[in-house]
Amino acid sequence: MVKAVQKLMVGLAAVSCLALAACGGGSGGTGGQAAQKAPDAKNWRQDIKGGPIEVGVLPAVGTPSLKFLEDIAAAMEKDYPGTEVKQTFANTKTRPALEQRWRAGDALDVDYTMFDGTNPALLDWADDGALLDLKPYLDQVDTTTGKPWLEQFSPAVMQFMQHPKTGKVYGVPSELSLQVLFYNAALFEKHGITPPATWDDLLKAADGLKAAGVDPIAVTGLFEPYMGMWSDNIWMRTVGYGKAREVLTDGKGSITEDPGFLKGLQMLQDLRDKKGFLKGFEGTDFTAAQAQFFQGKAGMILMGSWLVSEMADVIPKDFKLGVLQFPTVTGGTGDQASMLAAAQLMSVSAKSENIPLSLEWVRRVVSVETQTRRATEVGEVSAVKGVSSPPGLPGIADVVAKADRLQAAYYGLMQSKAKDVVYPEIAKLMFGKQDAQQTLENLDKGLRRVHGG
């Protein structure tokens, strides 16, 4: 899945209406329309009636992930006569156009990337009354489990679902994206290379792979946020998530004040100077980089957990995949056990003309049955309790269990002008156009310009 965190950022005229049905026509409201009267929380399922709804979807056309959603739509159209479910591609490239529709009162009934309780930039839609508070419905007992609907979700994702000030819930996770270090386990075993638990281990693994004639790390040079995954994760270890976010995204303090920022850049420079990245990565797009990893041309790749589901068609059947949390940094003053993650949250428009049917769509997408099938057959990581780890992601459950906290991927930079400072400078460092000190100085200048420091 080219996911939000992902694919968190994957013009506009060409893709703004890229949908499984033509853009427009959502029942989410018209300009100036007031919010609809929300159905009674205890009886909302009894109020479900057929009709048109427009729902955002993340998987691309023709992917196995989308087939699940198409099946749900077909089942709803059968169960509720008169139902028409229009599925609109709602990934990153289409967000500007879709958000303009929200502003114009023509919102999708169910959409993604409208809320994230960990990101102040994504609280406005809820604060302005555009989103339905889902908590009253989630507090009701789900007849299929005998427990409140809300309890089916992992506690680790509640920070994403809930408004930090009001406790109201404006998003329900259809899947979870985790930034992890994948490695070719068979290749490591063949050459006696130890999977890296620390940064020093990573450098040793890189040396071992080079000695075996394999490029150490696959990475794209054509998508800056993916290169930025390296600096993001390193800084989480050398600085700490909270401090890094304050400086990078919130503009509090200077990047030159904490030595952990420069240390992290120096670590990335060392990896570059050791020729740790895929040969020719500067001109390699992310799909090609990922394919080369699965072809055995690179030993590791730092990527979202969507990697397996997205590349399912090209992964050799005998490929032995290993999954690790990002290595710890000895002496680092940051968070050594945290992971960067993103919950793909579905939100319901408060102006939807068919809120009960919209809620039913959400309920079916996150049902244990659907989530289990998506995990088993497609390899997606679920935020729903009782859903096993995807068989294609061995050990992912253990990796998550060892994390002391899931932190919002990209530090919220994707909703900040600072992203146009941070990730381009990291790209220059990785390309060898500047060293760590120059990168720090350029970041300092750029962040001061953006944040007014």
Domain holding 134: CATH number? Answer: 3.40.190.10
Q: Quick one: which of 429, 241, 446 has its CA closest to 326? A: 241
Residue 34 lies in a domain: yes
CA distance 155 to 449: 38
Q: What pLDDT was estimated at residue 28?
A: 55
pLDDT above 70 for 381: yes
Helices and strands counted in the chain (H then E): 18, 11
Minimal CA–CA distance to 112: which of 369, 294, 365, 445? 365
Statement to judge: residues 321 and 355 lie in one domain: no
- For residue 228, the model assigns a pLDDT of 98
Is the domain of 168 the same as that of 193?
A: no
Do both 239 and 98 map to the same domain? no
For residues 266 and 305, membership in a common domain is answered with: yes
Choose the final residue of a domain: 356, 371, 396. 396
Confidence of residue 33 (pLDDT cuts 50, 70, 90): low
Amino acid code (one letter) for 118? T
- At residue 1, the pLDDT reads 38
pLDDT in tens, 273-325: 999 999 999 999 999 999 999 999 999 999 999 898 888 889 999 999 999 99
Asked if residue 158 is part of any domain, the answer here is yes
The reply to whether 4 falls in a domain is no
Over 80: is that where the pLDDT of 241 sits?
yes
Q: Can you tell me whether residue 16 is helix, strand or coil?
A: coil
Domain contains 257: yes
The verdict on 326 and 227 lying in the same domain is yes
Range 55-69 burial, b when 16+ CB lie within 10 A, else e = bbbbbbeebebbebb
Fill in the amino acid letter for 69.
L
Question: Helices 199-211 & 259-273, crossing angle to 10 degrees?
Answer: 10
pLDDT for residue 16 is more than 50: no
Asked if residue 121 is part of any domain, the answer here is: yes
Check whether residue 203 and residue 72 sit in a common domain. Answer: no
One domain, residues 265 and 354: no
Quick check: is 198 in a domain?
yes
| pLDDT-wise least confident of 151-155, 211-215, 346-350, 362-366 | 151-155
Task: Mention every residue, 6+ apart, whose C-beta is less than 8 A from residue 394.
Answer: 321, 322, 323
Q: Is residue 97 part of a domain?
A: yes
Task: Check whether 7 has a pLDDT greater than 60.
Answer: no
String of b and e for 370-406 (b: at least 16 CB within 10 Å)? bbeebbebbbbbbbbeebebbebbeebeebbeebeeb
Residue 15 has pLDDT above 50, yes or no: no
**33: which 2 tokens?**
């329309």
Structure token digits, residue 32? 């100036």
Same domain, 72 and 89: yes
Position 398 scores a pLDDT of 84
Quote the mean pLDDT of the chain.
91
Name residues whose C-beta falls within 8 Å of residue 231's C-beta, 6 or more positions apart in sequence: 264, 265, 268, 422, 426
pTM summary value: 0.79
* 17: pLDDT strictly greater than 80: no
Pick from 397, 446, 5: which is nearest to 232 by CA? 5
Beta partners for residue 344, in sequence order:
175
Could you say which DSSP state residue 388 is in? P
- Whether 342 and 318 have beta carbons less than 8 Å apart is answered as no
The pLDDT of residue 121 is 87
* Whether residue 170 is found in the same domain as residue 28: yes
**pLDDT-based confidence at residue 13 (cuts at 50, 70, 90):** very low
Please state, as a whole number, how many other Cβ atoms lie within 10 Å of the Cβ of residue 453.
Answer: 14
In this structure, the answer to whether residues 329 and 364 fall within a common structural domain is: no
Does pLDDT of 330 surpass 90?
A: yes
- The stretch 324-340 carries a mean pLDDT of 97
Structural domain range at position 287: 178-340+408-451
Using one digit for the tens of pLDDT, what is the confidence trace for 36-83? 688 999 999 999 999 999 999 998 888 888 998 999 999 999 999 999
Pair (352, 321) in one structural domain = no
| 141-142 vs 84-89, strand pairing mode | unpaired
Residue 305 shares a structural domain with residue 159:
no
Q: In this structure, is residue 322 part of a structural domain?
A: yes
Burial track 248-279 (b if 16+ CB lie within 10 A, e otherwise):
bbebeeebeebebbbbbbbbbbebbeeebbbe
296, HSE (Cβ side, Cα atoms, 13 Å)? 12
What is residue 64's predicted lDDT score, i.e. its pLDDT?
81
The number of distinct structural domains making up the chain is 2
pLDDT in tens, 217-235: 999 999 999 999 999 999 9
Give residue 61's pLDDT: 86
pLDDT score recorded for residue 266: 99
